[in-house]
Chains A and B, each alone.
Chain A
Amino acid sequence: MKTMNNAIINFKCKVALLFLMSLISCEKSLDVSPKDQVTDNTLLASTGNADLFLNGIYASLPDVYNMQESEDAWTDNAMCGYVYYVSRALINKSVYTSANAPTYWTQYVNIRKCNLFIAKVESSTLPDTWKKLRLAEARFLRAYFYQLLWIHYGGVPIITEVLDKNSQGDSIFRERNTDGETFKFITDECAAIATDLPVKPAETGRATKGAALTLKGWCELFEASLLKNPENDKTKWVLAASTYKSVMDLATYSLFPDLETMFFEGNNNNVEVIFSKAYLGGTSLGGSKEGLWGTRIVGGAQVGYGAMNPSQELVDEYVMANGLPISDPASGYNPQNPYVNREKRFYQSIIYDGSFWLGYEIVIKQGLGSRNATDLSNASGGGTNTGYGLRKGLDPKYAINGYSRLNSAGFIIFRYAEVLLGYAEAQNEASGPDASVYDALNKVRARSGLPPLEAGLNQDQMRVIIRRERRVELSFEEKRWNDLIRWKIAEINLNSTIHAMYIEKINNIWVYKIIPATDGSRIFYANKNYLLPLPQGAMDKNSKLTQNPNY
């Protein structure tokens, strides 16, 4: 019996020992690998895998359609409907500092991704034809990111390799390259890759030869403009014109017939689109421009933040249907009935009192209890500050308040109309208003039902027309700020007040009165605001950086 007990105890001891042993061998069980991550080997295992990395770089293009305020709110085209948004609180009043200014410096994250992709793919054994194409795409994207930096900061450090703190030590801290070097880098890159890129992409959304040349032309146009070309070196204009001409000569692009629906998701990547940022509604990739920029209250419900209020200044730029500007006594413009017989683009772009949106008449008159009435109390988020709402590019289908992310419409970065207008501008500056200038402009105007320009305009008259045409045609497409800057007219146009349309009943008659918009005053310091300040965070971490003047 005792032996039996001992046996049981012995057995139990052995079980316990086995148990302990089994735990001790558990050390190996710490080998867990994450299931949502892949290694270098996987990355370069096939072209398909490597493509995924490039996809991520494409995805890094600025997400304009989910920004509460686009750059147009910085300009005289519009003011933001919210008092505390960056554009109204900081930019419009020029009170921004290196600590709080909007930053493009984060593009270096995307630049690193490009550099990494280029380095990995170049040294890989993947097929050469694939390599050539994808490397060109990555270089295009990198050039685009550098363009954003160059326009806003001037010269920036040009980094084309993958920085490594362990092997490079202090050389990861770089000085700024000069403005000229940065410009040259971008345009050289565009020139170098243009031949490697296809005219027509295998998949829509990828970089093309046209995109590379348009980017090059745009940078050259910027470089030729007064800001960077105070001596008005004509060869710079010639260069820009010829690059734009080469895009036109591709004979791939043409104007889409309808400017209004061109921006809708059904017409993504249409004949006019050269390069765009893609969206996918219903996912995290969907766009929300209607909910953010669209008119706030429609039919009683809030369907948008109303963050983009077009200015009276912009409205006044839309010519009459007969092609004459409203300032022309022959135009037939009636200030007490200002919204009749205007050009087509006005009705496509602006929501005004009496217009219809989502099936509702928009009432911006005072005293009717309408929550869209002009907000004179400067109450952020009330009605419109200017008496206007944004319509251009907004799809009524997606007029849902806030970040709905339902719209699949792409944000067009470059379209053919800009090429035509850019060509016309450069050519006019280089050699005056020749037939090709007229031709380019008239194409754009004809699409919107405007008659051809009268013949015999001189260079200055043509410049005025080109600039108005460009402002109207490309409004709310993130072009205006750059134009104000490069033409060096920001110090004039942005040292003034944005105006609003105030409609009130006097003696039983609705009277239209143009008033300064509440909080519509603007300040622009010519000695510093043509460039943004480098972010303080970047300055703090890299003592080799120099700040832009007067910040």
Chain B
Amino acid sequence: MKKFREYYEKTPFKFLSEKTIRVMKLTLLLSILTISQLWATETYSQMTKLTIKLEDVKISNALREIENQSEFFFLYSPKLIDVEKRVNIDAQNQSIKDILTDIFGKEVTFAVSDRQIILTPNDQSEVLSAYQQKRQITGTVTDKNGTPQIGVNVVVTGSTLGTTTDINGKYSIDVPQGSNSLTFSFIGMVPQEISIGTLSQINVTLAESAIGLEEVVVVGYGTQKKTSVTAAVSPLQGKEIASTPITNLSNSFGGRVSGVIVTQTSGDPGRDASNIYIRGISSTGSTQPLMIVDGIPRDFTKLDPNTIESLTVLKDAAAVAPYGVAGANGVILVTTKVGKTGAPSLTYNGYIGFQNPTVLPKFVNGYQYATLKNAAAQNEGVPLPYSDYALRKLKDGSDPDAFPDPNVWDLITRNAVLTTHNVELSGGTEAVKYFGSLGYQYQEALWPSTSNKKYNLAINIEAQATKTTKLSLNVNGRVEKAAYPSILPGRIWELLQYVNTKRGPLYFSNGLPGDKIPASIFGSGYDDVNTMALYSKFSIEQELPFIPGFKIKGTIAYDPTIVMDKLWRVPTHIYSIIDTSKHPYQYKDAIFDQTRSSLNQTFNQYNQLTYQASMYYANSFGKNDITVLALVEAKNNNNLSLAASRRNYNLDVDEINMGSSSQADMSTSGTSNASRQVGYLYRVTYNYSNKYLLETSGRYDGSYYFAPGSRFGFFPAFSFGWRISEEDFFKKIGWISNLKIRGSYGEVGALAGSPFQYLSTYDVYGPAYVLGGQAVQAINSRNENNPNITWERARKRDIGLEVTFLKRFSMEVDYFYEKRSNMLVIPDVIVPIEYGIGLSQVNAGIMKNQGFDLSFSYNYSISKDFEVSLGANFTHARNTLLKVFETPTTYDNPNRRITDRPLGTQFGFHALGFFQPTDFGADGTLNQGIAIQPWGVVKPGDLRYEDMNGDGKINNDDLTVIGNPETPQFIYGISPNIRYKGFSMDLLFQGAAKTDRYLDRHMVWPFYNAMNAYVDNFNYWTPENPDARYPRITSAPTVNNSQTSSWWMYNVSYLRLKSVTLAYTIPSRITEKIKIHDVRIYVSGQNVITWTDLINYDPEGSSAYGNLYPQQKVISVGLNVKF
């Protein structure tokens, strides 16, 4: 009996590694059991005769050769059978028994059962007979709360014999005589080994495992156990974001995931996506990451957050290499939920939120405007525009029509509603699992003409069609109805800044509009954008039981999207008083912009068809685990657009057919385009004893962008991991439960620029000109072609450390270094302007990007009812342009050189401050020695710039670095969470640093382009206020003071309470009475508080002159019910 035990303990017949998903493991186990039932039959083996001639080969190779030539396969333990021994075989038409006897002599006994042959050492042959004597053990597996655990692996310890628990947590297993114990294991649980003894029933309570260790993470084209991952991968669970009032999933990363730098520049409903930079910016070309939904390249940003199982950010070469050319900027994998085995589970999640801008500029009121204007006029020595009478009227507000005090913020909606509802059904059996979800989101905006309605439907069905065949069908649809006014929010935001007392009131006291902004917001027509997007996917996965651990899979995904845009513009009316000396005032109506209505309709269709075929093999040989993945992917995109428009509507009926029938008032346009990509990828992982991990992956990728011959590139990556904590010498250090060092190196491609730059072709466009009174088409040469254009290459290095100690703290830190070469840059400096044509991009730029990212988590259960946790992450990324095309003018000036500086470094004059009266002589001329500034006569209170080269005059040679790139170099998040009984509080603080933004025009300068001024502008220079924020006040910004200079550069670092959720789960003893499983109510906030030095604007904006729909602060109340 002892020998028998040793046999099974030492020789696990592991056919699949733990990385493989559980279902597959089970199926294979079942097939092996099936094989054992066929033990007695010997038909095939008796009939088959083989001819083999091999010299000096390992026995293992000989056996493989036999497997190849026949349908036999061998079961043996390499520990017990010396298969390394070299033998000669010369068999002519011999039976298998004869051949094996030749090979092994008397050392080994072999039992042949049809096609299966079990080899055992001669001295242990009794195990074979023992093997066939079994007894049954049954039981139930539960968690600490007594909930039955479904799908727990129950295995005879050290063997491949096993089963899983059913829907009620029950199992039943036949164990061979002499079996010692059973091992119970499940993802996320601590495995348990229970001694069998004489028991026939074993009930087990599994405990949850220490954080993270058994976690499975999604990686490119598969999943891996967190412990065996050798790449830099950051997961984000869908449940973390499902309750936060965000409208676009791209806004869910900030501060939650290490290695991700995000900026959200707009809060416009439906157009509020963030820019995502994984590990910062590494190229002058495209920098946005690849987005994958359920394995298919697709945009995830508008999916229903409730349907998201997880979001995973792939960061280093090892992680992104399988995406080849599309992976250089990192990859975001989104996995949608699938059904879980069990009784149908119905949940509802919904909230209603109220939105307000995070910040609104503080404009001057009418009286302040007038005093500021008068101060400017006084400065300039021109007559004062506002008399004492006018000032008095503006102050007392007694004549709001002639002396108005318009406040634009009166026009905007406060507490605009944002509401989301989602119903989800999930359940299934081992055979069929289903998941269905229906979501609805409605978002109001700062004005009633903008709103967004979104319907999301998701259906996922997985079926185990046969024991070895799995089918899955995956449909995710979205209907989005976005309504906007006929003008873009940027323009509205610009118009808002024009409003001032001089232009008149928003509305006269009789209700007539006095400014174009009310009409622009409320009555300019509409722009309705209706989107129908469907993601559909069908895949079939087939296991091949005769090759253990091998399966093939085919997937086809068809994703059509249709966008309809209907833009209806109507004339807008504005009233004014022509002559304020005549009472009562007479109001005149006038039309602003077009005098008749017009309609533009656009139809865009985007179709994507993706095919994938893959082979996957996973097996264990002793302590060696191997997995191999090979996959082919092809992606075809076909897009078309069609548009029609008419103008000069006689009747205001918003249909194309109702428009003017004059030919000149009609127009049509349309085009189509296609894109193609084909890739072949592999990944091989090797794992020895769960200590030493090796992985290589790569992709041979082709794209239609380039000329034949330059289309395909090969992008390999290698990575390793060493789990030091698994080493015997380390196991003594009990307080560190996990310590892993990993590293990766690889090359990835990047598809920057635009397609067809290799072609020497001409653009055709029209209408291009008018000849003979008729519109004519034209042909124009495109940029000079570059037949050799090909991929950008990114070489990525990463070294990471993962550590868990005291079972509560875990930390992951990565240093990364990327060098982007072959970077596509426009070599325009190599030809003179007289060359007369632009050049295509060439693969010539070089850029590096390096930094670190770190994530940290801490969990502590003070008692069963009281838990605290803290998560934190930091990311730093800094790039440097190593080689770009640069003219000698900037390259030779160390202050102005672009090369060797971060991309987006901001240049300008260095402002020394203001000229003070002491800088001028008695005659008003500048003192000797002060550099001459070329933008007109300067006066005290004007900005003075530094003469960097000391030549006594300020010109472009004096430009220098005045600011960091706008994209933050440093971003971080800190998330403390507390749970006490049914209460929980989750906070997320998020911040960014090392980011500067240049503010100009109406964002800072008073009266720019006849626009308004800010209250802050009162802090202008006077002899009494020499250290003012703003230069001497002028009626419009002077050329001198509006030069790009450090004076207007703002550090836009910030820290904000990005999200907060307070929740209470009603105890189930109460809810059970009304037959409800779980009820959770919560209050949630987004962008709740922001700390920053910037005034009037949100620090996350961009430099688009502030003409952006502002970021929103949302406070919501939600309900979560599980029936």
Contact B581 A402 (CB under 8 A): no
On whether the beta carbons of B955 and A99 are closer than 8 Å, the reply is: yes
- Contacts A30-B702, A204-B773; is A379 near B1010 (CB within 8 Å)? yes
Q: Mark B1012-1034, 1 if CB is under 8 A from A, else 0.
A: 00000000000000000000001
Among A37, A99, A269, the most chain B Cβ lie within 10 Å of the Cβ of A37
> In the complex the two chains form, is A55's CB within 8 Å of B777's CB?
yes
Q: Which of these, A36, A99, A203, contacts B764 with CB under 8 Å?
A: A36
Contact in complex: A16, B613 (CB < 8 Å)? yes
Interface residues of A in 37-86 (CB under 8 A from B): 37-40, 42-43, 49, 52-53, 55-56, 58-59, 82-84
Chain B contacts for A400, CB-based, 8 A? 593-595
Contact A281 B664 (CB under 8 A): yes
Mark interface residues in A302-316 (1 if CB within 8 Å of B CB, else 0). 110000000000000
Partner of A378, one of B380, B591, B955: B380
Cβ of A536 < 8 Å from any Cβ of B? Answer: yes
Residues on A with beta carbons closer than 8 Å to the beta carbon of B312: none
Pairwise interchain contact B770-A113, C-beta atoms closer than 8 A: no
Residues of A within 8 A of B131 (CB): none
Contact present for B502 and A382 (CB under 8 Å): yes
Docked-complex contact A279 and B781, CB < 8 angstroms: no
B590 to chain A: closest residue by CB: A301
The answer to the question of A509 belonging to the interface, with a C-beta cut-off of 8 Å to chain B, is no
Which B residues, 1042 to 1075, have Cβ-Cβ distances below 8 Å to chain A?
1042
Which residues on the A side are within 8 Å of B779 (C-beta)? 38, 43, 49, 52-53, 55-56
Judge whether A401 is part of the interface by a CB distance below 8 angstroms.
yes
Whether B778 and A56, one on each chain, are in contact in the complex, defined by CB atoms closer than 8 angstroms, is yes
Complex partner residue of A35 from B383, B587, B671, CB under 8 angstroms? B671
Q: Provide the residues of chain A in CB contact with B373, threshold 8 Å.
A: 377, 379
Specify which chain B residues have a CB less than 8 angstroms from the CB of A32 in the assembled complex: 674-676, 704, 755
Alpha-carbon gap, A115 to B580, bound state (A): 61
B726 vs chain A, min Cβ distance (A): 37
Q: Is there a chain B Cβ closer than 8 Å to A109's Cβ?
A: yes
* B441 contacts the other chain (CB 8 A): no
A148 to chain B: closest CB distance in Å? 14
CB distance from B773 to the nearest CB of A (A): 6
Q: Which A residues lie within 8 Å of B1036 (CB)?
A: 83-84, 378-380
Q: Which of chain B's residues 577-604 have a Cβ closer than 8 Å to chain A? A: 577-581, 587-595
Contact B402 A280 (CB under 8 A): no
Whole-angstrom distance between the alpha carbons of A19 and B614 in the complex? 10
- B contact patch SS: mixed
Q: Does B377 contact A (CB under 8 A)?
A: yes
Contact: B834 with A108, CB < 8 Å?
yes
Write out the residue numbers on chain A whose beta carbons fall within 8 Å of the beta carbon of B105.
none
- Taking A36-B671, A97-B934, A268-B773 as contacts, is the C-beta distance between A404 and B574 under 8 angstroms? no
Q: A279 and B376: CB pair below 8 A?
A: no
A39 touches B760 (CB 8 A): yes
CB distance from B939 to the nearest CB of A (A): 14
What 1/0 flags go to B274-303 for Cβ under 8 Å of A? 000000000000000000000000000000
Please determine whether A285 and B703 come into contact, CB atoms closer than 8 angstroms. no
Binds B, one of A87-95, A215-223, A245-253, A414-422: A87-95
Q: Is there contact, CB below 8 Å, between A204 and B772?
A: yes
Residues of A within 8 A of B955 (CB): 97, 99
Residues of B within 8 A of A350 (CB): none
Q: Determine, out of B618-626, B684-692, B824-832, the stretch whose residues face the partner at the interface.
A: B824-832
Q: Contact check, B829 vs A540: say whether CB atoms are below 8 A apart.
A: yes
Residue of chain B at shortest CB distance from A518:
B382
- A61 to chain B: closest residue by CB: B769
Interface with B: A367-375, A441-449, A459-467, which one? A367-375
Chain A CB within 10 A, most for which of B383, B778, B888: B778
- Tally chain B residues at the interface, Cβ within 8 Å: 113
**CB-CB contacts below 8 Å: B758-775 with A:** 759-765, 767-773, 775
Q: Is B833 an interface residue (CB 8 A)?
A: yes
Size band of the A side of the interface?
A: 35 or more
Interface 9-mer from A21-29, A187-195, A474-482: A21-29
User: How distant is the Cα of A99 from the Cα of B955 in the complex, in angstroms?
Assistant: 9
State whether B767 touches A285 (Cβ < 8 A).
yes
Cβ 8 A contact of B579, one of A369, A402, A410, A545 = A369
Given contacts A53-B762, A283-B667, contact A159 B778 (CB under 8 A): no
Asked whether, in the complex, the Cβ of B935 is within 8 Å of the Cβ of A95, the reply is yes
Contacts of B708 in A (CB 8 A): 30-31
Contact indicator A109/B837 (Cβ below 8 Å): yes
Known contacts A99-B956, A377-B373; A301 and B574 CB within 8 A of each other: yes
Residue of B nearest to A541 (CB): B832
Judge whether B30 is part of the interface by a CB distance below 8 angstroms: no
**How far is A97 from B775 in the complex, measured between Cα atoms in Å?**
39
Task: Select which of A23, A55, A110, A538 is within 8 A of B833 by beta carbon.
Answer: A538
The answer to whether A278 and B834 touch across the interface, beta carbons within 8 angstroms, is no
Judging by beta carbons under 8 Å apart, are A23 and B678 in contact?
Answer: yes
Q: Inside 8 A of A29's CB, which chain B residues have their CB?
A: 634, 636, 676, 678
Q: Report the Cα distance A540→B831, complex, angstroms.
A: 10
| Complex Cα–Cα for A402 and B1036 (A) | 21
* A37: contacting residue among B383, B588, B762, B767, CB under 8 A: B762
CB of A9 within 8 A of CB of B377, answer no
Q: How far is the CA of A13 from the CA of B554 in the complex (A)?
A: 11
Bound-complex Cα distance A283 to B775 (A): 10
Query: Would A299 and B590 be within 8 Å (CB), given that A52-B776, A382-B1010 are in contact?
Result: yes
Asked if residues B613 and A20 are in contact (CB atoms below 8 Å), the reply is: yes
Asked if A489 is an interface residue, CB under 8 A from chain B, the answer is no
Note all chain A residues with C-beta closer than 8 A to B773: 203-205, 268-269
Q: Is A133 at the interface (CB under 8 A from chain B)? A: no
**Does B552 interact with chain A (Cβ within 8 Å)?**
yes
A537-B778 contact, Cβ under 8 Å, with A301-B592, A370-B578: no
A376 is an interface residue with CB less than 8 A from chain B: yes
What separation, in Å, do the CA atoms of A409 and B84 have in the docked complex? 93
The residues in B between 625 and 681 inclusive whose CB is less than 8 angstroms from any CB of A are 632-634, 636, 647, 664-665, 667, 671-678, 680
Q: In this assembly, does B843 line the interface, its C-beta being within 8 Å of a C-beta of chain A?
A: no
Q: Confirm or deny: B780 has a beta carbon within 8 angstroms of a beta carbon on chain A.
A: yes
| B829/A541 in contact, CB under 8 A | yes
Is the CB–CB distance between B761 and A20 below 8 Å? no
List A contacts of B703 (CB < 8 A).
Answer: 30
Residue of A38, A283, A379 near B1035 (CB, 8 A) is A379
Distance from A62 Cβ to chain B, minimum over Cβ atoms (Å): 13
Distance in angstroms from A214 CB to nearest chain B CB is 19
- Chain B, residue nearest A303 (CB): B590
Whether A391 sits at the interface, judged by CB under 8 Å, is: no
How distant is A211 from chain B, measured CB to nearest CB, in Å?
A: 14
Measured CA separation A202–B771 after assembly (Å): 10
Complex CA distance for A265 and B703, rounded to whole angstroms: 50
Pick the contact of B678 from A30, A58, A173, A283 — CB < 8 Å?
Answer: A30
B756 interface residue (CB < 8 Å to A):
yes
* Sample of 9 A–B contacts (CB below 8 Å): A29-B634, A30-B711, A52-B764, A300-B589, A301-B591, A369-B580, A377-B373, A377-B376, A545-B832
The residues of A with any CB-CB pair to B shorter than 8 Å are: 9, 12-13, 16, 19-20, 23-24, 26-27, 29-40, 42-43, 49, 52-53, 55-56, 58-59, 82-84, 89-90, 93, 95, 97, 99, 105-106, 108-113, 115-116, 157, 159, 163, 165, 172-174, 202-206, 268-269, 278-285, 297-303, 360, 363, 367-371, 376-382, 400-402, 404, 408, 410, 518, 535-542, 545
User: 6 smallest A-B Cβ distances: which pairs?
Assistant: A112-B836, A301-B590, A300-B576, A369-B580, A203-B772, A381-B1010
Interface residues, chain B, with chain A CB atoms under 8 Å away: 373, 376-377, 380, 382-383, 385, 402, 469, 502-503, 516, 542, 544-546, 552, 554, 574-581, 587-595, 611, 613, 615, 632-634, 636, 647, 664-665, 667, 671-678, 680, 702-704, 708, 711, 755-756, 759-765, 767-773, 775-782, 784, 828-837, 887-889, 934-936, 955-956, 1007-1010, 1034-1037, 1039, 1042
A16-B552, A302-B516, A369-B577 known; 4 other A-B pairs, CB under 8 Å? A23-B634, A34-B756, A53-B780, A163-B834
